[in-house]
A and B are shown apart, each in its own frame.
Chain A
Amino acid sequence: MSLRVHLPGLELKNPVMPASGCFSFGKEYAQFYDLDTLGAVIMKAATKEPRLGNKTPRVAETSSGMLNAIGLQNPGVDKIINGEMPFLNGYALPKIANIAGSSPEEYTETAKKMSPHVQALELNISCPNVKEGGIQFGTDPHLASNVVRQVKKVSEVPVYVKLSPNVTDIREMAVACEQAGADGLSMINTITGMQILKERRRPLLHNQTGGLSGPAIKPVAIRMIYEVYPYVSIPIIGMGGIGSAEDVLEFLLAGASAVAVGTANFHNPFVMPEIIADLPGVLRNYGFSSVEEAIGGAHY
């Protein structure tokens, strides 16, 4: 049973990686298992300058999911390269850097610095939790094309674009990114939501809105990947509520070539190694002899 997947810049021994923002830079989860068990790692978002993020409360639980409004807290690209990456470099697995910004220049500056240290970039044009965190680039195809084109010019490695689900037609965004030179897509980022604290008659999160993640958004992610798959020829890394090997297969069938696991890590810190261990059996049960065979299987 082969779990291998070949993607631009990434030779994955299996298709499972942590979603950006849920895994920091790996140190914490390395206390639970060998990170080289994973197919790759997607690091927490990096910005040109350090960011403090939003005030707390930053998380709230919802029905079968959670809202978060961290707000891209990170020590800035330089400190990430010098302070956080040496630990990850002790592992052989492919590294993907998620980069965010408020202007094309900020994206290109960060990309230029980061790309020599990783195997791929994930362009975060979809963080819903900061006014200037890229969401404006993620909801306007023209702005998206422009930032993708500029980052492609400076990046030494393939560029994946993380799409926002907070749009009317995600195909339009996907196609615009592909035409601008994107090497792959990550879908989906969180869905904007809100929870009201009844006792206080106020939104619970200090940021008021947050990004919804977890099993609650899985059908939305599946639908969007299924919609985009026939319209693009670049690979899709799928994410949104994945918590089991059965979920992984569903994403593969919808059209994802690899997957990222986010919220489920908080529920069960061992979830990714467990999914990887379960995946061969699940693929076999549904009549597949490799991961690659299952990709896009729901379309044929």
Chain B
Amino acid sequence: MQTYDMKVVNHREISECTYEITLQTDVFFPAEPGQFVHILVDPPHQLRRPLSLASSSGGEITVVYKTFGEGTRTLTNKKRGDTVNVLGPLGNGFTLPEQEKVMLVGGGVGVPPLLWLAKELHKDGKKVSAVLGFKSVNQVFYRREMEEYAEVTVVTDDGSSGEKGLVTKWLDPEADVYYACGPNPMLKALEAQLAIPGYNSMEERMGCAIGACFACTVETTDDGYVNVCKDGPVFPKGRVKLP
């Protein structure tokens, strides 16, 4: 395992407080959909930021982040040509489905890893639907990108874009497997509502991101406590007692 000094090749605000950054290294970056990277933020920040991969090809990766605090705000200062240190790829990615009709459910910054997954599923000839939830119209992103691979339904809390309400109201009844990434209450509601098998990609505050510090622990239904970073971030539906 190693760290990579990557060059910023693109960095832009894609919706309110949401940034897409594309980084490049000369060597092959061996990532799979659903995996994440741990990105170093400039001093005085001590902890890296775990971010899901929205794409990875050759030595070029794209991640999307929201400015929740000072660390991510510091990251917005990175300009084209600057260097960012990347640890990864980390965690277990998505297991691709046997089933033919696949539904992706994303909430906010949970959407990016699903975009890469949609691309792979589309390549495999699967029928893909995507339900993307955001707070309001200002926060919507990756709609058009997702439409290349999936039948997209955008849902906003206030109805300012697409359908109104929560994603759980606008699910695809035809789907026979689902992949979800978003806030825990959303993952929980989906588990309760859907009878089909599925996978959750989870988010948690992390320290090391390699399984050594036990910061990102979650309780499983069958195996005590596990780490989101090393044992996840993708877990089959029902495996984790969602907090």
A residues sitting closer than 8 Å to B (CB atoms) are: 21-24, 27-29, 31-32, 52-53, 55-61, 63-66, 68, 70, 73, 214-215, 263-270
Inter-chain CA distance A298–B86, complex, in Å, is 38
Inter-chain CA distance A267–B87, complex, in Å, is 10
Q: Do A59 and B87 contact each other (CB < 8 Å), given the known contacts A28-B212, A52-B225, A53-B225?
A: no
Are B2 and A32 in contact, CB atoms less than 8 angstroms apart?
A: yes
User: B43: which A residues are within 8 A, CB to CB?
Assistant: 64
Q: Do A28 and B208 contact each other (CB < 8 Å), given the known contacts A58-B217, A214-B46, A269-B87?
A: yes
User: A58: which B residues are within 8 A, CB to CB?
Assistant: 205, 214-217
B residues sitting closer than 8 Å to A (CB atoms) are: 1-3, 40, 43-48, 69, 71, 87, 204-219, 224-225, 230, 243
Inter-chain CA distance A262–B210, complex, in Å, is 15
User: A61: which B residues are within 8 A, CB to CB?
Assistant: 45-47, 69, 71
Interface centre among B46, B48, B87, B209 (most CB of A within 10 A): B46
User: A23: which B residues are within 8 A, CB to CB?
Assistant: 212
Inter-chain CA distance A52–B224, complex, in Å, is 8
Q: Name the contact of B46 in the complex, choosing from A27, A267, A269, A270 (C-beta under 8 A).
A: A267
A197's nearest neighbour on chain B, judged by CB, is: B69
Minimum Cβ distance to chain A for residue B30 (Å) = 14
Inter-chain CA distance A73–B48, complex, in Å, is 22
Inter-chain CA distance A29–B210, complex, in Å, is 8
Minimum Cβ distance to chain B for residue A29 (Å) = 7
Q: Do A28 and B210 contact each other (CB < 8 Å), given the known contacts A56-B243, A266-B47?
A: yes
Are B206 and A59 in contact, CB atoms less than 8 angstroms apart?
A: yes
A-B contact pairs, 23 of them (CB 8 A): A28-B230, A29-B212, A31-B1, A31-B210, A32-B1, A32-B2, A52-B224, A52-B225, A56-B204, A56-B215, A56-B216, A58-B205, A58-B214, A58-B215, A59-B207, A59-B213, A61-B45, A61-B71, A64-B43, A70-B213, A266-B213, A268-B40, A269-B87
Inter-chain CA distance A21–B208, complex, in Å, is 11
Minimum Cβ distance to chain A for residue B34 (Å) = 20
Q: Name the contact of B47 in the complex, choosing from A27, A66, A270 (C-beta under 8 A).
A: A66
What's the dominant secondary structure at chain A's contact region? loop
Cβ-closest 5 pairs across A and B: A24-B212, A28-B212, A31-B1, A59-B215, A64-B44
Inter-chain CA distance A27–B210, complex, in Å, is 10
12 more contacts with CB within 8 A, not counting A264-B46, A270-B3, are A56-B204, A56-B217, A56-B218, A56-B243, A61-B71, A64-B43, A66-B47, A73-B214, A73-B225, A267-B40, A267-B47, A267-B48
Inter-chain CA distance A23–B207, complex, in Å, is 11
User: A32: which B residues are within 8 A, CB to CB?
Assistant: 1-2
Interface centre among B48, B207, B216 (most CB of A within 10 A): B207
User: A24: which B residues are within 8 A, CB to CB?
Assistant: 211-214
User: A60: which B residues are within 8 A, CB to CB?
Assistant: 205
Inter-chain CA distance A3–B224, complex, in Å, is 42
Minimum Cβ distance to chain B for residue A74 (Å) = 9
User: A70: which B residues are within 8 A, CB to CB?
Assistant: 213-215
Inter-chain CA distance A59–B207, complex, in Å, is 7
B45's nearest neighbour on chain A, judged by CB, is: A61
Are A28 and B211 in contact, CB atoms less than 8 angstroms apart?
A: yes
Inter-chain CA distance A55–B225, complex, in Å, is 11
Minimum Cβ distance to chain A for residue B88 (Å) = 11
Inter-chain CA distance A56–B203, complex, in Å, is 11
Are A63 and B47 in contact, CB atoms less than 8 angstroms apart?
A: no
Inter-chain CA distance A66–B217, complex, in Å, is 17
